[in-house]
Structure 1
Amino acid sequence: MNPHPRIALIGECMIELQHRADGSLHQSFGGDTLNTAVYLRRELGADSTVDYVTALGDDSFSDAMCAQWASEGLGLQRVQRLPGRLPGLYCIQTDANGERKFLYWRNEAAVRDCFTTPGAEPILAALPGYDVLYLSGITLAVLGAVGRTRLLAVLVEARQRGARVVFDNNYRPRLWAGVEAAREAYRQVLEHVDLALLTEDDERALFGYADSEQVFAAYPGIDEVVLKRGADDCLIRQSGQRFVVPAVAVEKVVDTTAAGDSFSAAYLASRLRGGSPQEAALAGHRLASRVIQVAGALLPLNESS
């Protein structure tokens, strides 16, 4: 294993509003790949390079995002700042069981032009030089057709150079014009993935797979497939072997936001350090179990280890 991996995570961070029981709103920042980037950097520490790839505006919220990312040790050299643009915004509402409902304002978000501007050219050229490229289904949705096409070319070149491509399926129907458009985009990318971190419910919603066996059968060309199933056992197929890793029990779930993102971060960090799939899944369960006991996507820095 590379002791000093260079990792680029591609996606969107938004302004996050947490709707609290008293009716007040708490403002922070979040997004699936950004959450994973933060937790991944915390898990790997200073020996790694974890860069975030996105586009923001030139507003004060974008300034604050960059300041927060820098404080977490994330690299910002692949972040574009587009004049006159803004980041997206979302609000989290949770029920008594900690289950989430999201309200989004993101149609004009700067990230939609992440790979279409002249400033994207050096970023696209640099991405194949990383050891690991990480993206999600939300990444595919927000980049749009042109951005996806350019990203796909990057993934092909990166793998030719020996990089690993990691994909978290994170399917959000409202981000797509229709299910067929989403399926086509996913299938194109999944042909170039080395590690697939899949949520079973999302696979069912997108492709209609009835059970885990159908999911595994759908991806014969992917060496390592991890099937996340919430509070149930995690199922893994790696190099033809199968593994079952029980989740960590939690007495009270406060907020499931970033449960899957944090699991993915700890799983990937463990694998990059040479851990087995079982060890990696247990690390993922442990981190996710802490994340779902607090409100919001990111644990305070002193609570994430």
Structure 2
Amino acid sequence: MTALRVALLGECMIELQEREGGLLQRSFGGDTLNTAVYLARLLRDHAASVSYVTALGDDALSQSMLEHWKGEGIDTSLVQRLPGRVPGLYLIQVDAHGERTFSYWRDTSAAKAYFDIEASPLETELDRIDVLYFSGISLAILPEAGRERLLAAAQTLRERGARVVFDNNYRPRLWSDSAHARAWYQRAFALSNIALITLDDHIAMQAAACTTAEALAQVWALPTPEVVVKQGGADTLVRLAGHTPISIPPAPVAQVVDTTAAGDSFAAGYLAARLSGLAASAAAASGNTLAGTVIQHRGAIIPSDAMPALGL
């Protein structure tokens, strides 16, 4: 049986987590990288492989990232190494309620230059990729020409029957304005089989203030056949083309410690379940369970022995 190949494109940065007394703990993270790690863990015993698509520098920290990803079972053959470039960096500060704030240093990140060469590793391997996953942040960090090539790759995959998954992660500071972001998002939604939408992010990028009901009406009108709406601690909503949206309650959480990677881990739980043949309702429950586990730990990536099983 040929293994299903899932490629996730984005940026992994150096993560600094602030501790008591101002001490900093270093790790690595980024929205699509977090999803890749959790997806690789969940699919480890299935006929599937997970590839990460990005660019890194030739420095020691970039090499450390690569070794870490390989240790998680992630294929790194689609990663570019760019001499003289370095990864981006971000600092997480968490308040008493587990909510976090971020500070970024990423203007010259190597990941921005992934499509600067004539044919990137992703583009040369398109005929061997079954699922492409990217996010609003993946789009935002790329220059306009890079975005065009990413969407062209998505179109090629969609036309030959592969699956495209788009997560709407929206960071206003990465875009010149919300109208610019909306234009690119609409194109991504039109090319995707599955859209993962954080409702707060969708509302934040609209031209005018809208209610939850108005935002959901906009979301249900999207052309994407499968739409999943994440609402934090409220029910997850799933709409399949031609069907009424269904509602799946969140997993119970004893104590929220850190909400970092909640949406990223949900995406992994949902996608792993769908790729394993589970129904959308079961996949949403799987995503909720993993996200509920992740937010009870510090940092983006929890210990592997804390992982719930796929589908639970």
TM class by shorter-chain length?
over 0.9
Q: Determine the structure 2 residue equivalent to 1:206.
A: 205
Per the normalisation by structure 1, the TM-score is: 0.96
Structure 1 gap ranges (5+): none
d(CA) in 2 for partners of 1:84, 1:259: 33
Question: Does the 8 A contact of 1:8 with 1:130 survive in 2?
Answer: yes
- 2:31 corresponds to which letter in structure 1? D
**Counterpart for residue 107 of structure 1:** 107
Measure how far apart 1:124 and its partner are: 1.2
Distance (whole Å) between structure 1 residues aligned to residue 296 and residue 202 of structure 2: 26
Equivalent-residue separation in structure 1 for 2:166 and 2:94 (angstroms): 27
Q: Distance in 1 between matches of 2:233 and 2:249?
A: 8
**TM-superposed deviation, 1:125:** 2.5
The residue number in structure 1 matching 2:54 is 54
Residue 120 of structure 2 corresponds to: 121
Q: Where does residue 41 of structure 1 map in the other structure?
A: 40
CA RMSD of aligned residues (A): 1.4
1:254 equivalent in structure 2: 257
Distance 2:155 2:128 in 1: 12
Q: Is the 8 A contact 1:128 1:163 kept in 2?
A: no
Q: Which of 229, 242, 250 is the matching residue for 1:227?
A: 229
Matched position secondary structure for 2:191? coil
1:22 is paired with a residue whose SS is: helix
- The 5-angstrom pairing of residues 120-269 of structure 1 reads 120-207=119-206, 208-211=209-212, 212-219=215-222, 221-241=223-243, 242-269=245-272
Please list every run of at least 4 consecutive aligned residues from structure 1 whose deviation after the TM superposition is greater than 4 angstroms.
Answer: none
The CA distance in 2 between the partners of 1:237 and 1:209, in whole Å, is: 20
The DSSP-based 3-state class of the residue aligned with 1:93 is strand
The size of the alignment, in residue pairs, is 302
Once the two structures are TM-superposed, the CA of residue 209 in structure 1 deviates from its matched residue by: 4.6
Look up the equivalent residue of 1:124 and give its one-letter code: E
TM-superposed deviation, 1:3: 7.3
Identity across matched positions, percent:
51
Determine if contact 1:203/1:215 at 8 Å carries over to the other structure: no
Q: Distance in 2 between matches of 1:275 and 1:107?
A: 40
Deviation, structure 1 residue 21: 2.7
Q: Contact 1:209–1:215 at 8 Å: present in 2 too?
A: no
Q: Deviations over 1:51-110 (max 9, x none)?
A: 000000000110000000000010010000000000000000011110110000000000
Where 1:52 maps in the other structure, the secondary structure is strand
Which segments of 5 or more consecutive residues in structure 2 lack a partner in the other structure?
none
- What corresponds to 1:85 in structure 2? 85
Do residues 67 (structure 1) and 67 (structure 2) align? yes
Checking the alignment, whether the CA contact within 8 Å between 2:233 and 2:250 is kept in structure 1 is yes
Query: Which shows bigger deviation, 238-247 or 259-268?
Result: 238-247
Counterpart contact for 1:245–1:281, Cα < 8 Å: yes
Aligned residue for 2:246, secondary structure, equals: strand
Once the 2 structures are TM-superposed, how far is the Cα of residue 27 of structure 1 from its aligned partner?
0.2
Q: Read off the aligned partner of 1:58 and give its amino acid letter.
A: D
CA distance in 2, matches of 1:251, 1:263: 18
- Answer whether contact 1:8 1:127 (CA < 8 A) is retained: no
Residue 152 of structure 1 and its aligned partner are, at CA, apart by 1.1
The residue aligned with 1:301 is 304
Distance across 2 between alignment mates of 1:40 and 1:179: 30
Contact 2:169 2:198 in 1 (8 A): yes
**Structure 1 residue 196: deviation in Å?**
0.3
Structure 1 position 149, deviation (Å): 0.5
**CA separation in 1, counterparts of 2:279 and 2:287?**
12
1:177-232 residue CA offsets vs partner (Å, 9 max, x unmatched): 1112111111121110110000000000012553253233330x211000000110
